[in-house]
């Protein structure tokens, strides 16, 4: 997984939100990252710091909310918790498990300084 | 930076422990909906959100009440996929290709699995039947594009520098520069890397993963994302099997454990073994696209 590109993706999202919302500074970026998402968080934190330099999110904290992995086991016919993609079903051992939650990588929210008044 | 290939900026850090997330002590003022798509920089938000627009307009959120001059923490709800931008470009590429009946394949593998050799052989085999063009992705050099051009097919090289994968925006630019004819086949050779390209949709019809018999049988288990993302696996260099301890059945079984729907062809890009099936698959898979265009 390419953490540098992901960090750049976050920067674009932040810049577009700033453009539209006119906030002055970003204090924290809140991500929602599923436990099944293909991303190295350590590496992403490093890239985030580098990529945000010189932007209004320079020095911003990166808060990561994890979402547990869930899959649908075809053999059991029910949702089962899964720790990693392509792991067998914890109940029956089948590999026919389709991930249904925990693969997301989203920017959920921004903690910003709303110093700029927006004309309504 | 990419932990697999060390791509990206700066030096590789080893054993760098994760920074504990600083908790925001800011008082939050409730969630505020923000647009799923931001407006282009020079676009003012429309006064009224258009009826059928897939965008939630920023302007529709509740007005803010700030004490003038006072800087306040505010929580903006964003809810946007980090790869959303790439996926948008990919969707546009896919539409563009479909309108022209162009069948695009995204070839992915470790470096040296034989992507370029396979491409050259495939182009030769399709000569006179269907025009083929190639987009070549490498970190550096024009070498592979030159190898393709030697077959007579047009090829455009994208050098990604430190980047370890092609993205859909790069391909969008390449599409504009290649003179592609309707109903043709476009082969994209991705940067040699079994990890990063899995996450970046380019707008292709199918990802084709190449595994060569000089690699380990367990590669599909070690790099599952790529085998899960692909529709076809070419097990290449089968001409070397007599000289190796590689267990082809085991490799295929591992790949199918990750992706039960995977179509597998055992081929040799040097001898042409297995190419009838591979070319047959291309013909069958592109037929509906070429018809609709
Ligand atoms: N024996 C054998 N060698 C191959 C085959 N396909 C590719 N090669 C060799 O593998 C090396 C790497 O091939 P190349 O096409 O450059 O791989 P790429 O990095 O995936 O584009 C070259 O020396 C090729 O000649 C094959 O089917 N059999
Ligand atoms: Mg090559
Ligand atoms: Zn089960
Ligand atoms: Zn990478």
- Going from the Cα of B170 to the center of ligand 1, the distance in angstroms, rounded, reads 26
Q: Indicate if the pLDDT at residue B272 is higher than 80.
A: yes
Please give the tally of structural domains in chain A.
1
Burial class (CB in 10 A: 0-12, 13-18, 19+), B76: buried
More confident residue, B95 or A120: B95
Ion ligand 2 residue ranges (Cβ < 5 Å): B 115-116, 144
The residue segments making up the domain with residue A38 are 2-112
Q: By the CB < 8 Å criterion, does B169 face chain A? A: no
Q: Looking at the domain assignment, is residue A72 inside a domain?
A: yes
Tokens standing for B286?
A: 């592109």
Res B143: pLDDT:
93
Cβ of B236 below 6 Å from ligand 1? yes
Ion ligand 3 residue ranges (Cβ < 5 Å): A 73, 75-76, 89, 91-92, 94
Q: Indicate if the pLDDT at residue A93 is higher than 70.
A: yes
Contact between chains at B72 and A114 (C-beta distance less than 8 A): yes
User: Could you tell me the strand order of the sheet in which A78-81 lies?
Assistant: A78-81, A70-73, A97-101
CATH of the domain at A56: 3.30.2320.80
More confident residue, B169 or B61: B169
Q: Indicate if the pLDDT at residue B68 is higher than 60.
A: no
Q: What is the CATH number of domain B83-292?
A: 3.40.50.300
Q: What value of ipTM does the predicted structure carry?
A: 0.85
* Cα–Cα distance measured from residue B293 to residue B280, given in angstroms and rounded to the nearest whole number: 20
B195-B289-B204 Cα angle (round to 5): 15
Mean pLDDT within B137-162: 92
Portion of chain B with pLDDT greater than 90, in percent: 66
Tokens standing for B193?
A: 């890397």
More confident residue, B162 or A89: A89
Mean pLDDT within B156-185: 92
């Amino acid at each position: 997984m390419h953490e540098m590109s992901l960090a750049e993706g976050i920067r674009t999202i932040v810049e577009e939100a700033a453009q539209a919302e006119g906030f002055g500074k970003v204090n924290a970026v809140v991500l929602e990252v599923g436990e099944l998402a293909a991303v190295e968080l350590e590496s992403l934190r490093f890239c985030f710091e580098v990529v945000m330099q010189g932007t209004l999110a320079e020095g911003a904290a990166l808060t990561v909310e994890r979402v547990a992995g869930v899959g649908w086991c075809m053999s059991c016919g029910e949702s089962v918790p899964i720790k990693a993609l392509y792991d067998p079903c914890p109940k029956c051992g089948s590999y026919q498990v389709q991930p249904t939650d925990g693969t997301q990588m989203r920017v959920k929210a921004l903690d910003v300084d709303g110093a700029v008044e927006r004309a309504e | 930076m990419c932990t697999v290939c060390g791509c990206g900026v700066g030096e590789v850090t080893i054993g760098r422990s994760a920074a504990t997330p600083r908790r925001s002590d800011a008082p939050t003022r409730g969630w505020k909906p923000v647009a799923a798509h931001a407006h282009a920089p020079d676009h003012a938000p429309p006064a009224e959100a258009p009826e059928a627009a897939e965008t939630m307009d920023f302007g529709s959120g509740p007005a803010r009440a700030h004490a003038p001059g006072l800087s306040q923490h505010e929580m903006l709800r964003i809810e946007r996929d980090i790869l959303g931008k790439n996926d948008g470009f990919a969707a546009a590429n896919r539409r563009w290709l479909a309108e022209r009946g162009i069948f695009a394949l995204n070839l992915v593998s470790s470096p040296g699995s034989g992507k370029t050799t396979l491409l050259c052989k495939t182009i030769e085999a399709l000569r006179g039947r269907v025009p083929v063009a190639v987009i070549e992705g490498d970190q550096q050099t024009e070498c592979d594009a030159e190898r393709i051009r030697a077959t007579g097919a047009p090829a455009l090289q994208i050098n990604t520098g430190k980047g370890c994968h092609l993205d859909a925006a790069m391909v969008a630019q390449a599409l504009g520069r290649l003179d592609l004819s309707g109903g043709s086949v476009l082969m994209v050779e991705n940067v040699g890397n079994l990890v990063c390209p899995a996450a970046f949709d380019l707008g292709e019809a199918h990802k084709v993963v190449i595994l060569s018999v000089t690699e380990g049988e367990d590669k599909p288990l070690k790099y599952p994302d790529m085998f899960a993302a692909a529709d076809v696996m070419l097990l290449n260099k089968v001409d070397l099997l007599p000289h190796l301890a590689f267990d082809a059945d085991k490799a295929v079984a591992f790949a199918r454990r990750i992706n039960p729907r995977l179509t597998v062809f055992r081929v040799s890009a040097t001898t042409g073994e297995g190419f009838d099936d591979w070319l047959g698959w291309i013909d069958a898979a592109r037929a509906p696209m070429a018809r609709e265009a």
